[in-house]
Structure 1
Amino acid sequence: MKIVHTCLLICLSVLATSCLKDHNIPPITLHYKQIEPFKDQNNIDSYRLYFTSDINIDSIANIKRSNPQIICPLVGKENFEVGDYHKQVIKSLFIEKDTKPKNYINEDDLYSVELLFYEYDEDGSQSRYLEKNEIIDLIKNKKCIPCTMYMVFPWRYKHYYSNPMCIPVEDILKVLKD
Structure 2
Amino acid sequence: MRMLSLLVLILMASACSLNHGRPVANLEYTKTERLRNTGIYQVYFSSDVELLGLFKSSIGQGLICSLTDDLDFSQSHQIKQSGFGFVERLSANSLLYRADVIFDESVDGKGEERRLKGETLAPFLTARDAISCVFRVHSTTYKTYFSNVMHIPSADLLKSGPAQ
- TM-score in same-fold range (> 0.5): yes
Runs of 5+ consecutive residues of structure 1 not aligned to the other structure: 1-11, 100-107
Q: Which runs of 5+ in 2 are unaligned?
A: 1-9
Equivalent residues of 1:69, 1:149 under 8 A apart: yes
1:98 is aligned with what amino acid? L
Q: CA RMSD for the aligned pairs?
A: 2.5
- 1:138 is matched with 124
Letter in 2 for 1:71: I
Instruction: Report if aligned partners of 1:87, 1:119 keep a CA contact under 8 Å in 2.
Output: yes
Aligned to 1:159: 144
1:172 to partner: Cα distance: 0.8
Deviation at 1:157, TM superposition (A): 2.0
Deviation at 1:82, TM superposition (A): 3.7
Where does residue 31 of structure 2 map in the other structure? Answer: 34
| Inter-partner Cα distance in structure 2 for 1:35 and 1:124 | 31
Identity within the alignment, %: 26
The equivalences for 1:34-113 within 5 A come to 34-39=31-36, 44-61=38-55, 63-77=56-70, 80-83=71-74, 84-92=77-85, 94-98=86-90, 108-113=94-99
Deviation string, structure 1 residues 63-109 (Cα, Å, up to 9, x no partner) = 344542011011225xx2343531110111x211115xxxxxxxx42
1:6-63 per-position Cα deviation (integer Å, ceiling 9, x unaligned): xxxxxx6x87444321111121111100000104xxx6321111110001113214x3
Does the 8 Å contact 2:66/2:131 carry over to 1?
yes
> Does structure 2 retain, via aligned residues, the 8 Å contact 1:29–1:162?
yes
The structure with more strand, counted as a fraction of residues: 2
Corresponding letter in the other structure for 2:150: M
Q: 1:161 to 1:17 in 2, by over 3 A?
A: farther
Question: Is the 2:27–2:148 Cα contact (8 Å) retained in structure 1?
Answer: yes
Match of 2:157 in 1: 172
- Hey, what's the Cα distance between the residues in 2 that align with 1:157 and 1:124? 29
Q: Does 1:127 align with 2:127?
A: no
C-alpha spacing 1:64/1:95, structure 2 compared with 1 (3 Å):
same
**Structure 2 equivalent of residue 115 of structure 1:** 101
Report runs of 4+ in structure 1 exceeding 6 Å deviation. none
